[in-house]
Structure formats: C-alpha cells, structure tokens
Chain A
Amino acid sequence: MGKRTSLTLYWKCQLIGWTIAAFYWEVDAFIRSAHFNFTFAVINFIADIIVNIIITHLYHTYALRKGWHQLSLQALLWRLIPAVVILSVVFTATVMLRFYLFNHYILHSFSGSFPAYVVNAGWVSFIAGIRIMFIWVLAWHMYHYAQREIKAARENAQLQLIAREAQLNNLSAQLNPHFFFNSLNNIKALVIENPDLARRAIDLLSDLLRTSLLHKQGQLIPLRDELGLVKDYLELEQLRFEERLTISLLADEKLMNISVPPLCLQTLVENAIKHGISKKKEGGLITINISEEDNLLKMTVQNPGNLNNIQTSPGLGIRNLKERLQLQFRGSASFHIIQHDGIVLSTLLIPGV
C-alpha cells in the first residue's frame, strides 16, 4: 500500500517535473535564440521529457537496488558525485547528438564534424546537465530521507507505547491473578501445614510483587536479575503444584551479566506452566537452558504440551515479547516456538555476548 502510493507520487513528480523543465528550456530558447525552429522545439520538448525520465529512472532503480536511499550522508556523498557526473554526461550526450543531427542533416546549419561540435558547445550543455541532475538527485534523496525520518519517529512512538503497555501487562502478566490468588491460598494452607515454608513463600511472593511494581519501562536488566525472578517464581509454583512440577535448570554462569529485556525468560517459563504443566493431570518437567551459540545468548524452555491451541492465537505475553524484541534489537534477536512429540520448545536468541 505504502509502496504503491509512493510509486504514483514518484511518477507524478517525474512527469510534471520534467515537463516543466522541458517547457522552460524551450521558452528560454525561444527568447534567446534568433533562429527558433518550431518543429525542432516540439521534438526537443518531447525528447527531453522521455530521455530525462529514462535516465533518472535508471538511477532510481539502481539506487533503490543498492540501498542508497538508506545510506548515511557521508557514505552517500562519495557515491553521489560520480553518479551526478555520469548522469550529466549521458544527458549532455543525448542533447548534443540531437542538436547536431537536426542542425547538420535537416537544417544544414552546422557544417563541422560532431567531435568538433562537442568540443565547441559541450561544456555549456554539461554544466546545465550537472545542475539539473544535481537538483533531481538531491530532491530524490531528500524525499527518501524524510520518509526514513518519519518512519523512525513513528517507530519510536510505537516503542514507547509498547513499553508502556508492557508495563501494564507486566502487572497482570507477571502477577497473573490466577497465580497470585492461588499462591495466597497455598500460603494459607501452608501456615498450618508448614509454617516455615509459608514464611518462605511470603518472602518470594513479596519480591515478585515488588519487582512488578517497581519495574521501569524500556530498560534492559542483567540476565542474573531476570533469572533470579524466574527462580523465585518457579519455587512458588513448585509449592503449589508439588510433585506435578519438576524443574531442570542449566545456566552458563559467565553469561549472567548480559543485558536482556525484563521478563523475557519469565514470559516463556510462565507460558510453560500455564499451557504445559497446568494442562497435564500428571504435570511434568520444565527444562530451562541458558547457553551461548554463535555469539548469541540462547535461552530455551521446554515443557510437555501441545501448540495447536496456543499457536493459532499467541498469548498477550508472547506477542508483547516479540514486539519488544523487534523494536529493541531490530531483527537481531529472535523468538520461535516448536512442538515435537508432545514437547513444546521455545527458543530465544538475544545479541550481546
């Protein structure tokens, strides 16, 4: 959609711009030239429009393919100078050829050879070419620069929005009300059955509550902190699920200082409980692995379960995580989830190793 409208805008500018330029040249010629020829003016007018659209369109196609519209100013500059020169040379060549052929063969007003004509009149034509091509290329790049700036501004606004949303979701996602109230109910039972465990559970729940209340938006936190949160959460869930929840955690200690988006691992673990363990009568094993792979931080969470019902509409937590990853790492982080033989495996790759 956006591409289509910019294409039409591009063609509109091309047609209108070159028509005006060609018209200006003919009016200029009419005013200055003593022997103005109407037939030649019409041919010239049409040829100017067509030839210039073709050569600038070639530039347009080439620059887009090479990604010049996304280059920084400095990288662009040393490409632009030769580009403008080449465009001007082509421009000059076509103009000169046209003038020479018409005047030499039809009007018989030129008697010299073509090279002699070029040497004689080429310079003026070339300067005109440089001027017009420079204006065209400048306008083209200004347009793309503006587009890029608008897009960046829009993305920034979106990032802020998502961060704010994440903060809200945070409270309801991390402090999943089901988890919260079931934990409180569990603690209530523990108070009688095992007061020491009850006290421990209150400490853990307090820390989780505090983290979600104090969590600052849009910031990265050390993996160590994220893992601490996950451990607290799992300890509480183990008190609830008892023998139905088994945990295996393998984490490379030297990766603990890497910065990660808050709640990235927590979201995966919570999903593993919600869609895996709590859906199974006999419960099961959650395996968490944190390692380094190809200079990326790799976090995997494995749980028994089926994807069918989740994948059709990924939960708020996963959707939110994907958006945050995309905006934070611009495609260099990735998340995917697969299922095989009743085991669901989610993998999160984050740069920063």
Chain B
Amino acid sequence: MKKFKVIIVDDERSAREEIRRALLPYPDYEVIGEARNADEAEALIHAHRPDLLFLDIRMPERSGFDLLAALPDVPEVIFTTAFDQYAVQAFDNNALDYLMKPIRVERFAQAMEKHGKKMQENNTTGKQLFIKDGEQCYFIKLKDIYLVESADNYARLHFNDKKALIRASLHQLEEKLDPDIFFRINRTQLINTQYITHIQPTTGGRFTIHLYNMTLEISSRQSVKFRQWNKP
C-alpha cells in the first residue's frame, strides 16, 4: 500500500522529534522530510508534494501562515502551536486540525483520524489555496472560486457565498489558477467558467454571461478570445 507522505515543519528540533515519535503508531504515514523554517519547507513541499504537513505557526522570518500563502497548491495541514490557538481557531472549518504542544496522544489520534477520512473522500477534489484576509484564514478549493476581481493592489476572491481580499494582482492569480477553467473576461475580472449558467451575445460581437446569479460583461478584446476558447 502507498504510504501518506508527511513533512514536519518546526524550528525546534525537539518539537519535530516529538511529532515523529507521535507518528510511530501510524504505519500508513511516512515522514519524508523535516524543515526548520518556511524556506526549507517550501523547497521540500515542491519536491515531494506531501499528503500531510505538520506546521508550526511561529517560525523565524516567515510564519507558517506566510508559508501556506506562498504555495500554489496547499497540502492538508495540521497546525502545531504552543499558544496560538486563537489564530488557528479563526479558521473556517476547512482547516484540517490544530494541535497544542505538548500534544496528547488521544488528541493526536483525533487529528490523524480526520486526516484519514479526508484522504478517503478527497481523492478528486484538486488543488487548494490558503488565503489570509486580516485575521480570517481560509483554505479555498480552486473549484469553489467563481470570480476574482481586482481592487487596486488587492484581489477579491468570491467563493461559496464568501469573499476574501488578498494582496495580489489579477495577473499573479491568473498564473496560479488553471487556464482550462479560469478565464479573464476583462481588465478587472477573472471567472471560473464552470459556474457560467448562460452566455448571451450582445452588440459588436461581445458577450454577456450569467454566472452564479450575476451578469458580467466580457470586453470586446476578450470576447474574441472567449469565442476561440469556447469552441473546442
């Protein structure tokens, strides 16, 4: 059987050692790497695409949150923290779990059980992003995002009836998002084409589209591209 790949991220050696020890009774999990900071972790994640990340929040230079926000595809995460539970509790329930150090055996078992379940049901869900908007953090599945709007130096993500503002240009996000699904309809809007309910041609060869109970205009330049894009 294929084992789940685990990466442990913590700046204290003894803390990483503790997680390793806690994982001993779980033969389906294999620790493929340890990182002492966000930079090391980022390289490891790119190289190994882990199934589970144990992540400390307070680390030198870049925090655990900073690390996640930089990843184009975020693995399942169990946060480990000494006292930042408030920061983690602010998450919507998309976060897998958080553990308080020192970690109790039964609490660790609960988190592992959650991960096991998620792995079973989640075989086809695809990539997810991590977004920190002020105090609020979100794990967002790419498929749940239906619209991205630019607002000065920020981008507003619309997903599951929620909105989040992140510091990124539309262009940067366009590169992170799957070009087969996401389409730039004009200078300020990027849409998930899977949410289109109706396409309506208007004057000058342009289109109006209905998307998730909104009506949006495609610019004339992008309408040309949209026609080509829509054909095959």
Which residues of A does B touch, CB under 8 Å?
A: 177-178, 180-182, 184-186, 188-190, 192-193, 240-242, 244, 278-281
Which residues of B does A touch, CB under 8 Å?
A: 11-15, 17-18, 21, 36-37, 39, 58, 60-61, 82-83, 100-103
When C-beta atoms are compared, the residue in chain B nearest to A279 turns out to be: B60
> Among the listed A192, A240, A281, which residue makes an inter-chain contact with B12, where contact means beta carbons less than 8 Å apart?
A240
User: What are the 8 A-B residue pairs with the smallest beta carbon separation, nearest first?
Assistant: A189-B14, A181-B82, A177-B83, A185-B101, A185-B102, A182-B82, A281-B60, A188-B102
> Among the listed A181, A241, A279, which residue makes an inter-chain contact with B100, where contact means beta carbons less than 8 Å apart?
A181
List of A residues within 8 angstroms of B39 by Cβ:
281
| In contact, B15 and A182 (Cβ under 8 angstroms) | yes
Total cross-chain contacts (CB, 8 A): 57
**What's the minimum C-beta distance from A174 to chain B, rounded to whole angstroms?**
15
When C-beta atoms are compared, the residue in chain B nearest to A280 turns out to be: B60
List of B residues within 8 angstroms of A241 by Cβ:
12
When C-beta atoms are compared, the residue in chain B nearest to A283 turns out to be: B60
Given contacts A189-B14, A193-B17, could you give 19 more A-B pairs where the C-beta distance is less than 8 Å?
Answer: A178-B82, A181-B82, A181-B100, A181-B102, A182-B12, A182-B101, A184-B101, A184-B102, A185-B103, A186-B15, A190-B14, A240-B12, A241-B12, A244-B11, A279-B60, A281-B36, A281-B39, A281-B60, A281-B61
> Among the listed B13, B14, B17, B61, which residue makes an inter-chain contact with A280, where contact means beta carbons less than 8 Å apart?
B61
**What's the minimum C-beta distance from B9 to chain A, rounded to whole angstroms?**
13
> Among the listed B14, B36, B60, which residue makes an inter-chain contact with A185, where contact means beta carbons less than 8 Å apart?
B14
Query: Given A189-B14, A189-B17, A193-B14, A279 and B101 touching (CB < 8 A)?
Result: no
Question: In the bound complex, what is the Cα–Cα distance between A178 and B101 (angstroms)?
Answer: 10
When C-beta atoms are compared, the residue in chain A nearest to B61 turns out to be: A281
> Among the listed A192, A242, A278, A281, which residue makes an inter-chain contact with B13, where contact means beta carbons less than 8 Å apart?
A242
| In contact, B61 and A185 (Cβ under 8 angstroms) | no
**What's the minimum C-beta distance from B110 to chain A, rounded to whole angstroms?**
18
| In contact, A181 and B83 (Cβ under 8 angstroms) | yes
**What's the minimum C-beta distance from A290 to chain B, rounded to whole angstroms?**
28
17 contacts between A and B (CB under 8 A): A178-B58, A181-B100, A181-B101, A181-B102, A182-B15, A182-B82, A184-B102, A185-B15, A188-B18, A189-B18, A193-B17, A241-B12, A278-B60, A279-B60, A280-B61, A281-B37, A281-B61
